[in-house]
Amino acid sequence: MSGQADTRSASPGAEIAPRCRLSARINIRLLVLLAPISLLIALFLILPIAIMFNRALTGEDVIAAYVEVLRSPVYTTVFLTTLKISALTTIITLLLGYPVAFALRFGRPRYRAIVLMLIVLPYWLDFIVRSYSWMILLGRKGIVNELLIWIGVIDRPVKLLYSLGSVVTGMVQIMLPMMILTLFAAMLRIDARLMDAASIHGASRWRSFARVFLPLSLPGVYGASLLVFVTALGFYITPALLGGTSETMISQSMLLLASELLDWKTASIAGTLLLFVTSILVLVYNRLFSIDRLWGGS
Amino acid sequence: MKDNEVEDSVAILREVLEETKGMGRREFLSRLGAVAASTPLLAGVAALAGAPGTARAASDPVTTIGWGGAWKEAFEKSYFEPFTENTGIPIQYISPYSFPKLQAMHDADDMQVDVVEAGGLDSLRIQKLGMDAPLDWGVIDKSVLSPGQLKYGNAIGAITLSEVLVYNKDKWPGEDHPKTWADFWDVEKFPGPRSMHRRVYPVVEAALMADGVPADREAMYPIDFDRAFRKLDEIKPYIDVWWTSGSQQQQLIQDEEVDLICMWNGRASDSIINRGANFRISWEQALYNGDVEAWFLLKGAPNPDAAMKLLDFVGRPEPQAVFARTLFYGPTNMAAYEFIDDELARELPSHPDNAEKSLLMNYDWWSENLDDATKRFEAWLQS
């Protein structure tokens, strides 16, 4: 507040000095505000990752260990499965989430509050509970099968669980709130009058959406998709409970290595490779879609 | 002065066990709870009277680590509550169980856990890594233990567990039900979805028995992996789920997700006896862990004296009987069977009738061969 007053009252000639003082003050404040979280991140994120790198990049026969991991059919399959499941989850959450976010953007405040509440509500439930709920719904004697038999669509239970479909269904449900909320936040920043302007110039509703709103919402789409994709890469419980062996994701393999086989080295190598692949993906993605505009980059 | 606190706990348990023999789990547990609530804290009283030593012990807990959930509850009922009741020594329980965590504490020379009940391979790992501390046989009364409980020298034998064939009784109500692993493999005669453990042992043992290897340790080990995986190829399309956790096994039979499953006997009994799953256990060719599980005092334990007292208690027949009646895993102290009625005793892995039909798993062999076998198994699952 006082900083703002300073700059305003300063004469043009003395402009530079107060600005410096101002930014210095802000810097110190910023530092103080950022210190706790930086410390937390340094201690509990950066340091463990550094230890993991150290374990994965040192010792004898490092190269040989990497070659073994990359050549082993288990890990390559699991890596590809992880990417496939995460991509599918992202695409489906996007397709389901975009219309909801759009409706929220232009909905009445009352309606908006209710829908937001419904979106956030499942977030309060534990992953395990939500995954078990899907087991009850999709099981051999589950509600979906019983219903289909009762209606007469099928005459014996079909296998819904322990498949790619059940894993993606479970993950989509878990990731959907994140997708909707991120999209909604991005859409709020789009000036609604631009749509009106398009209408005034004779564009149909669909055309004004397709030519004005959709392109403006794309940075939000790219950002939200990336967020969902990267989060999905690390899923463990849902594929373990709802998937079959073909839906094994990399976290499951890492847990097996670290806690059953006590092979921390290979687990670290798998973790490092996952981080490496993810970073590359994010860089390429950013090149193509420049998502850093979302958080203020150019 | 030899302390009588542990003896007191044992005596109270013995009384309840005798009184409730044959009763259901619920009545048994409520009776046990009532007794615990009415017993005065002897150590607490002693501390108030100013007895030295006891007061300090009363404030410092013994720390242990375990699986949590049903395991925690059963451990509290059988071991920790009766122990604390009379010694005044509280137990601090950390969960979930994680061997890597213990190993990290050991490597960092900063052990924060006193006592651990270690399963199968971890018992062997603890000894191999030198994480076990010597026991004080002046405090621990050897005379009340079974010989099998003392096989490691520095540990007290704990519980027994088998992986057993469990089948849907609605589907096969009569005598012509699946009994052996050959039956489990026979998808023509016994059709239906199946589930097995997503772990190389004891899946390969089951496969080899299905292929004609007898339930005999000498004949089984070393494992012929090529033969085992050839046999596993046959059953793979019929295994709907490869389970990874205890509660998942129970969900699979309680929701009738599968008709045949190879699962932990305690979980199966809990679902069958307490949760109305219409399934039955076949003890034929059960995959039995024997006396491999044990209680250890860890090197560098923060409270070794109190921990030693706990170790004097946990191997005795009475708490082991309470545990068996709570979670259906068998005792290693054979005297515990005195406190278990015959019907329930027949559902426990270490009952002589069951043990005789079982394959006694060779964990020593597995501890040397686990890595490559697990990698091969996981690769096979994904292929």
Q: Where are the domains of chain A?
A: 1-58, 62-293
Q: What is the CATH number of the domain that holds B279?
A: 3.40.190.10
Beta bridge partners of B282: B165
Average pLDDT on A47-66 reads 88
CB contact B66 to A (< 8 Å): no
Between B185 and A298, the higher pLDDT residue: B185
What's the CA angle centered on B326, arms B322 and B330, to 5 degrees? 70
Is the domain of B217 the same as that of B259? yes
Q: Is the same domain home to B79 and B124?
A: yes
Cis before B319 (ω within 30): no
* pLDDT of A1 over the 90 cut: no
Q: Tell me how far apart the alpha carbons of residues B147 and A53 are, in angstroms, rounded to a whole number.
A: 47
Q: Is A262–B99 a contact, with Cβ atoms under 8 angstroms apart?
A: yes
pLDDT recorded at residue A30: 87
Separation of alpha carbons A212 and A223, rounded Å? 19
Q: Which two tokens stand for residue A213?
A: 């709103």
Cβ atoms of A137 and A124 within 8 Å: the answer is no
B58 and B13 fall within a common domain: yes
* Mean pLDDT estimate for chain B: 92
* Alpha-carbon span A206 to B163, nearest angstrom: 62
A57 or B208, higher pLDDT = B208
pLDDT at A9: 43
Residue among A144, A245, A255 with most chain B CBs within 10 A, to mutate: A245
Share of residues in chain B with pLDDT > 70 (%): 93
* pLDDT tier at B57, thresholds 50, 70, 90: very low
Burial string for B213-250 (b: 16+ CB within 10 Å, else e) reads: bebeeeebbebebeebeebbeebeeebbbbbeebebbb
Q: Are residues B87 and B209 in the same domain?
A: no
Question: Contacts of residue B244 in chain A, CB cutoff 8 Å?
Answer: 240
Nearest alpha carbon to residue B251 among A260, A131, A154: A131
Q: Are B288 and B164 in contact (CB under 8 A)?
A: no
Neighboring chain A residues of B199 at a CB cutoff of 8 Å: 260
Beta strand segments in chain A, E: none
Alpha carbon separation from A277 to A71, A88, A233, A268 (Å, rounded): 16, 18, 11, 14
- For A167-223, the pLDDT digits (tens) are 999 999 999 999 999 999 999 999 989 988 998 999 998 999 999 999 999 989 998
pLDDT at res. B46: 44
Tell me, yes or no, whether B10 and B154 share the same domain: yes
pLDDT tens, residue by residue, B219-263 = 999 999 999 999 999 999 999 999 998 889 999 999 999 999 999
Task: Looking at the structure, tell me whether residues B246 and B372 fall in a common domain.
Answer: yes
Tokens of B201: 């042992």
Q: Select the highest-mean-pLDDT range: B25-39, B42-56, B59-73.
A: B59-73
Looking only at the bridges linking them, the beta strands covering B62-65 and B115-118 are parallel
Say yes or no: B237 contacts chain A, CB-CB below 8 A.
no
Residues A109 and A106: their CA atoms lie apart, in Å, by 9
At B266, which helix (H) or strand (E)?
helix B265-269
Tell me the pLDDT tens digit for each residue of A70-98: 888 888 899 999 999 999 999 999 999 99
Going by pLDDT thresholds of 50, 70 and 90, the confidence category of residue B22 is confident
Q: Beta strands B155-157 and B115-118: pairing type?
A: unpaired
Q: What is the mean pLDDT of residues B115-129?
A: 95
Q: How many other C-beta atoms can be found within 10 angstroms of the C-beta atom of residue A171?
A: 28
Residue A293, pLDDT score: 62
List chain A residues with CB under 8 Å of B381: 245, 248
What residues form DSSP beta bridges with B263? B164
End-to-end CA separation in angstroms for chain A: 28
- Give the model's confidence band at B274: pLDDT under 50 very low, under 70 low, under 90 confident, else very high: very high
Identify whether residues B91 and B219 lie together within a single domain. no
B122 and B32 co-located in one domain? yes
Residues B338 and B283 in one domain: no
User: What is residue B61's DSSP assignment?
Assistant: P
Contacts of A244 in chain B (CB under 8 A): 240-242
Is domain A62-293 classified as CATH 3.40.109.10? no
Look at residue B26 in the predicted model and tell me its pLDDT. Answer: 85
For residue range A109-164, list pLDDT tens digits in order. 999 999 999 999 888 888 888 988 999 999 999 999 999 999 999 999 999 999 99
Q: Looking at residue A59, what DSSP letter applies?
A: S
**A72 touching chain B per CB within 8 A:** yes
Tokens standing for B4? 């009588």
Set of chain B residues whose Cβ sits within 8 Å of the Cβ of A139? 255, 257
Closest Cα partner for B123 from B312, B291, B286, B333?
Answer: B291
CB-based contact (8 Å) between B100 and chain A? yes
Structure tokens given for A20: 């410096």
Of A95-104, B22-31, B341-350, B354-363, the poorest mean pLDDT is in B22-31
Q: Which pLDDT score, from 0 to 100, does residue A18 have?
A: 55
In the 8-state DSSP scheme, what is residue B298?
A: B
Angle between helix B99-107 and helix B120-128 axes, rounded to 10 deg: 10
A184–chain B Cβ distance below 8 A for any pair: no
pLDDT band of A61, cuts 50, 70, 90: confident
- The boundaries of the domain holding residue B79 are 5-160+291-345
If pLDDT is split at 50, 70 and 90, which confidence band does A5 have? Answer: very low
pLDDT given at position B176? 96
Do B34 and B137 lie in one domain? The reply is yes
What confidence tens digit (pLDDT) does each residue in B126-181 have?
999 999 999 999 999 999 999 999 999 999 999 999 999 999 999 999 999 999 99
Across the strands, what pairs with B289? none
The one-letter amino acid code at B362 reads N
ipTM higher than threshold 0.90: no
% of chain B surpassing 90 pLDDT: 81
Question: Which pairing describes strands B359-360 and B279-288: parallel, antiparallel, or unpaired?
Answer: parallel
Same domain, B19 and B109: yes
Distance CA(B315)–CA(B117), nearest Å, equals 11
Query: Which of B195, B160, B187 has the alpha carbon at shortest distance from B294?
Result: B160
CB contact under 8 A, B379 and A259: no
DSSP-based helix, strand, coil % in chain B, nearest 5: 50, 15, 35
CB contact A250 to B (< 8 Å): no
| pLDDT score of B328 | 96
B382 and A258 within 8 Å at the Cβ level: the answer is no
What pLDDT does residue A281 have? 87
pLDDT at B61: 95
Number of domains in chain B: 2
Confidence of residue B30 (pLDDT cuts 50, 70, 90): confident
Q: Say whether both B131 and B193 belong to one domain.
A: no
Both tokens assigned to A49: 């990752």
